[in-house]
Structure 1
């Protein structure tokens, strides 16, 4: 047998055998690798089996199983990240930019200053209705001596009184509210006495502000044409079969200095009124057709001044605001508190927690 013998019995030449040894030592790129002892044993056993294609078995590479777990986890994580971005884009941007540490509190929004074009900016009243639209009306039904139609008419006139006393531009400028006064029973002596004195010599007991919203035109000017409102009218049967109507309405007035001085500061005077009216049966109470009697009246007010009554709201501008206010803090937009709990009186001014 020569230097090398092939499986079919043919022999290699000495030159081929020498080249084979040299390339094996130097590691030629296409030189065959010597199989391991385990591989040689398996190959020898397979050759003995009839019909076995050894070369084909050695060259077959089985398909790798699809590993879904890794991509599935990545997909879930990506979905969570997208959800966080959608729910809190600002927070995510801050974290990615390194401007805010995880878990640190989000800074509170800075207060927004009102302007002449947007006098309700930064106020809860910005989303309220304007004027009479903010005063809701109940569905009418027959009560006491009145039919359903008469109750509906009385409710409309009751709202007219609220509008004329708190939203009429002339009344807000300090003019005498003649149209509103015409709706009050002229035979109700205590109220007529109040009306006869209040506009001439306002005092704590006889103050037109008890029923009417007024600003002194030489001092205060309304900003814009809109007053924001929120409230409602309700009714029930009162004494002697009267239709008793209760109005509970909050008014927000944006005002500024009449002379345009200062830095254009805008103050919002907030007034909440509760007014109870009786539409009496003329067979039982002396009254005039189309008029009502006033059962009670009270109001809460913030940013409207306090102290000696002048007959006008006097919003504090700039240095006019008392230093070291000692009055109670109230939220003028909290309508769950009964009217009268947060009223400014005497020298003690209620302080609004927001306006």
Structure 2
């Protein structure tokens, strides 16, 4: 009986009947896949478009020898990592575009309890303010924190710089005559971080009572065609506090009552003067870049302002009745929760006398 290793027809003539002498040149599948060149298929050769009978493979090195499933998994991992890096880099811009960094503002119009706007002495407009209420002139009444110590992740110099930026913003947005009654917005915008400047610009060009684009959410301002300051002094009472929101962000909150002496625009000194009061709470966020460049993000503002008429848009200017002292101010009507014609955040209330 023949050798089990021999072909059925027997060993060919002149041969040894064994493959041993060829074992050194037999290539396994992994060796073939790793080859740098490969022969064209019959259809590719018949097509006549290729100048050579072989083509060179891409130089993938050890990757070329990996199984297809392994290559697919590796590609998915690379794509996932790339996506994570991309979205991590672009997330601040995406947040700004979708409202993640937008200012949110709310204002409650206040009417007088008596139904009329009281006049005050033009020579001493703030005489009615009670001394016990803690009012001071301008920035002296801001109540900045006396001890600005370091936080867990911000040193004392950084905390001081953040509080100083907030102080400058409050002075520009609440105390500067050019902003209050002359239509200026640049002093306020200069302190707003780039992430919010597009929203600020839209508020300036197209103000709206939509909680995000009211220019009066960014600053206190009156229509220069209607209102003038009877005194450049603004009486202020309140405080400013600073905390660490997270390891990379400082949060500063301000809560102030501001009293303005107003008169009709262009009127002589004999015209009536009245007081206009604004309670304004503002929250600011400052990351390390904001602290370094002396800018901030205005996160939200809540205001109560009066005497003002109910139901009047105040997105562009606050609408005091100071230019018509003595005329009826109107009273807030009943609120129907089933009436959704007006936004729920637009409200009106009766204010107490501005004595603190």
Q: TM-score range by the shorter chain?
A: 0.5 to 0.7
* Gapped regions of structure 1 (runs ≥ 5): 1-111, 329-343
Computing the radius of gyration over CA atoms, which structure comes out larger, 1 or 2? Answer: 1
The answer (yes or no) to whether the contact 1:202–1:311 under 8 Å persists in 2 is: yes
Equivalences for residues 317-332 of structure 1 within 5 A = 317-318=324-325, 321-326=328-333
User: Mean Cα displacement is larger for which, 317-326 or 161-170?
Assistant: 317-326
1:115 is aligned to 121
The answer (yes or no) to whether the contact 1:140–1:148 under 8 Å persists in 2 is: yes
Task: Say whether 1:176 aligns with 2:184.
Answer: yes
Q: Deviations over 1:33-64 (max 9, x none)?
A: xxxxxxxxxxxxxxxxxxxxxxxxxxxxxxxx
2:303 is aligned to 299
CA RMSD of aligned residues (A): 3.0
Q: Deviations over 1:75-106 (max 9, x none)?
A: xxxxxxxxxxxxxxxxxxxxxxxxxxxxxxxx
Counterparts of 2:218 and 2:160, CA distance in 1: 23
The answer (yes or no) to whether the contact 2:259–2:276 under 8 Å persists in 1 is: yes
1:192 to 192, 197, 201: 197
Counterparts of 1:324 and 1:291, CA distance in 2: 40
Return the structure number with greater relative CO, CA threshold 8 A, min gap 6: 2
Equivalences for residues 130-279 of structure 1 within 5 A = 130-138=137-145, 139-186=147-194, 188=195, 191-205=196-210, 206-260=213-267, 264-279=271-286
* Deviation of 1:136 (Å): 1.3
Counterparts of 2:138 and 2:291, CA distance in 1: 30
User: Mean Cα displacement is larger for which, 162-171 or 119-128?
Assistant: 119-128
- Three-state SS of the structure 1 residue aligned to 2:205 is coil
Q: Calculate the TM-score normalised by the size of structure 2.
A: 0.56
Counterparts of 2:207 and 2:292, CA distance in 1: 28
User: Mean Cα displacement is larger for which, 251-260 or 293-302?
Assistant: 293-302
Q: Deviations over 1:233-266 (max 9, x none)?
A: 1111103431211111111011011132897222
* Gapped regions of structure 2 (runs ≥ 5): 1-117, 336-343
Counterparts of 1:244 and 1:235, CA distance in 2: 6
Q: Deviations over 1:257-294 (max 9, x none)?
A: 11328972222111111111122134xxx997222222
The answer (yes or no) to whether the contact 2:262–2:276 under 8 Å persists in 1 is: yes
Counterparts of 2:184 and 2:297, CA distance in 1: 20
The 1:248–1:224 alpha-carbon spacing in structure 2 relative to 1, beyond 3 Å, is: same
